[in-house]
Amino acid sequence: MGSSGRKFFGITIGVLLALSSSHLVFSQQCSNHYNSEQCSIHDLQLNSSNLGSFKFPVHANIELVNVKIDYFSPEVVQRMRWVSKLTISQGSVSKIFLKDDLQELIATSSLTHDVIIGETENEELERLTITQNQLESIPKNVEKLKTLTVLDLSYNKIEVVDLDELNGLGKLTYVDLSSNRIYYLTAVNSFELPRLETFKLDNNYLMEIDFDAWTMPSLTTLSIMSNSLKYIKDFKTENFPSLRTYQDYSNLFDCRWRAGFISMLQAWEQLENYYYQAQDCHKSVQLSAAVYRMLNIRDIRNNTIDLEDKEQLQSQLTTMLDTEQKQSRHIESLTKLVKEQTEQLEAVSTELQAQQTTIDGLLSQIEELKQLVAEIKQSAVPTGRTVPKGLRARMIQEIEEVIRRNLVEVED
């Protein structure tokens, strides 16, 4: 092939590659009509480290269905600069980088285990919905989403929730943490969401909730159904002045505590819908005396609720309180006895230490006596001669007297 032929061949290959690249750019079109409200893309597969010249369609609302992307990275995000609403359903997208100007992110059944939120405040995102996925905690930096109104993290694998992470989200109106694995819920500081209207914690593993730090002036709906709750602490009207709907059935409430709590709900004037059953409790579940003291059980025992076993209830509570007082006195007695024995042991230890010091001194003196005897033998008996019997007996007697005298000092 001549030089002109090779040149033509090279130009032809270049044109084909350019066309191939151009086809790659425009190959991902909307599966439905482009002018529809949402642009759907199906069965997309991307490697975040090798995007080539790939681009998303220019559309404000994109839905990715059954996609496989190893990491929805900042580089991938740059290819969808016009998108304000992103929906990911099914498929596999392990990590999602939150686009700065995104207004709504929805990820459902996408095997997502992390949503990466930037360190700077986000003034755009309004709705964050990550459901039926693999999240093990609330995404880090969620407090940076200052315009967030809806947070739905239901059907994940979250176990521990620090509510302080949500503080500062002043526009938040809806939170759903249902159907996770939450067994520990805490608010170390004051937990205040001024505009929150709905909070759901259904189908988790919670055994107790302390509402003492909660301040929700706009909350109208609270649902904590199907947990393992034995009791609820500090559920007060002043914390939820707007509450209208309350649901807590299918838990493991102690029947004795439950009686007083239902009485309180019935007296809650603004509460219009409270879904519970008086028999929705378990007599086999009994709180400890310490927990009853914490929950002001003396107030509960004086309630006027009409139960068939009220007399039995009051008798059991009285017995528990009496037993607790007896146990407290017994613990005080044991504590005093342990203190006395500790002091005696310390005295014995001091005495033993003193005796050990004396014994060490005695051993040192014995070594000195051995050395002295050796010197006496060497100086008093010429070389090659034996020690006279009388001298040997007298030396032994003197040594015995010294040892006996030291032993007597140790016993004293």
Domains and CATH numbers, the chain: 39-292 (3.80.10.10)
Alpha-carbon distance values, 362 to 370, 371, 376, 402 (Å) = 12, 14, 21, 10
Any alpha helices (H) in 246-309, and if so which ranges? 255-266, 289-294, 297-300
Q: What is the full DSSP assignment across 195-215?
A: T--EEE--SS--SEEE-TTEE
Name residue, tokens 């200052």. Answer: 146
Distance CA 271, CA 210 (A): 20
Quick one: tokens of 12?
A: 């032809």
Nearest C-alpha neighbor of 189 from the set 168, 172, 218: 168
Per-residue pLDDT of the chain (412 residues; tens, 9 = 90+): 444 444 434 434 343 434 343 333 334 788 877 667 899 999 999 888 888 888 888 899 999 999 999 999 999 998 888 999 999 999 999 999 999 999 999 999 999 999 999 999 999 999 999 999 999 999 999 999 999 999 999 999 999 999 999 998 999 999 999 999 999 998 777 889 999 999 999 999 999 899 988 999 999 999 999 999 999 988 988 999 999 999 998 899 988 788 888 888 888 888 887 766 556 777 777 777 667 666 655 454 444 444 455 566 566 666 666 666 666 777 777 788 888 888 888 888 888 888 888 888 888 888 777 787 777 767 665 555 565 667 667 777 777 777 777 666 655 5
33 phi and psi, to 5 degrees? -70, 135
Cβ-Cβ contacts under 8 Å for 200 (sequence gap 6 or more): 154, 175, 176, 177, 178, 221, 223
